[in-house]
Amino acid sequence: MEVAIDKLALSAVGAALLLLLVVLEIQFPQRHYDRSLKGRAYLANLLLFAFNNSIFLAFNISAVYTLVYGYRLLTFFDALPLWGQALLGILLLDFCIWIWHWTNHKVNLLWRFHKVHHSEQYLNATSALRFHIGELLLSVAVKSVVLVVFGVSFWIFILYEMLVTFFAAFHHANIHIPPRIQRALEKVIITPDMHRTHHSSLRDEHDSNYGVIFSWWDRMLHTFDRRQPKHIGLAHTPEKNFWSMLTFPFQNK
C-alpha cells in the first residue's frame, strides 16, 4: 500500500524549519564568526542550492526514482503494516546513506566532489544544502540501486528524503545547545556537536560521525568521536564562493 505524500507541503515545512534554524543560530550561536563571513556563506550555499535544483528540474532527474521503482527486486515491504514499512524503511535507508557517506571519504574520486561540502568555514544550517552537483547526481544512482535492491516503499523513500533535509540542517546549525541536552540527544540522533567534529580541518577528526539521522551506526562501527575541532573546513584551502565550489573538484589541490 502506497501512502500519498504532499511534496509541496513537505517542502514548505522544510523551508520554514530551515529559516527557523538560521534565525536560532544567529541569535544563539555556539561559535562566533565574522559577520561578513557568515553573509558570504549563506549566499554561496543558497546560490549552489538554487543551481542544483535548476539542473534537477531542467532534466527531470527526480523522475529517475519513479522509473527504477518499477524494477524493484523485493516487494516484502508491501506486506508490512504502515508503521513497519516506516520503521524498517527509514532505518535501512539511513544505514545505506551512512555507507555512502563513509565511501565518499574513502574513495578519492568521490572525495573530489564531497570536499566541496567540507570546504565550509562557517558551519551553519544552510551548509546542509552545500553539495556539488556531481555528488548529487552520483547519489541519485546510489539511491536508485537501493530502491531496486531492497524495494523500500516509495512513500517511505520520499518521507526519508524530507527527514534527511531537516536533520541535516539541524546538525549543521551553529546553535548553542546545553551539553546535557546534547549528550542525551546524541544517544539517538546526530547532534550539532557530533557533526561539528565531522567538519574538522583535521582529517583524523573529520573521518568520523558519518551519520545523518541516527548516531547508532557510528557507535556500532567505531567511527564515533566526541572531540571538538579547533578549526572548521579544509586545511590550506581558502574560502569558496559559488563559482569556485563548482570548479573545486576539478582542481588538483
Q: What is the pLDDT of residue 173?
A: 98
Question: What is the rounded CA–CA span in Å between residue 150 and residue 55?
Answer: 28
pLDDT tens for 138-173 read 999 999 999 999 999 898 999 999 999 999 999 999
Question: What is the rounded CA–CA span in Å between residue 116 and residue 133?
Answer: 10
The strand pairing partners of 111, in sequence order, are none
Burial class (CB in 10 A: 0-12, 13-18, 19+), 24: middle
Amino acid in position 101: H
Please identify which residue in the block is written with the cell numbers 534537477: 56
Amino acid in position 238: P
Tell me whether residue 2 is in a domain: no
Tell me whether residue 117 is in a domain: yes
pLDDT tens for 18-41 read 999 999 999 999 999 999 999 999
Tell me whether residue 165 is in a domain: yes
Tell me whether residue 18 is in a domain: yes
Q: Residue 120 is placed in which grid cell?
A: 565550509
Tell me whether residue 1 is in a domain: no
Question: What is the rounded CA–CA span in Å between residue 219 and residue 213?
Answer: 13
Tell me whether residue 69 is in a domain: yes
- For residues 156 and 93, the answer to whether their CB atoms sit within 8 Å is yes
Tell me whether residue 149 is in a domain: yes
- For residues 194 and 176, the answer to whether their CB atoms sit within 8 Å is no
The pTM for the full model equals 0.94
Question: What is the rounded CA–CA span in Å between residue 77 and residue 156?
Answer: 10
pLDDT tens for 181-218 read 999 999 999 999 999 999 999 999 999 999 999 999 99
Tell me whether residue 44 is in a domain: yes
All residues at 6 or more sequence positions from 198 whose CB lies less than 8 Å from its CB, including other chains: 205, 206, 208, 209, 210
pLDDT tens for 60-74 read 988 899 899 889 998
Q: The domain containing residue 197 runs over which residues?
A: 7-250
Domain total of the chain = 1
CA distances from 168 to 21, 74, 164, 172, 217 (A): 11, 29, 6, 6, 16
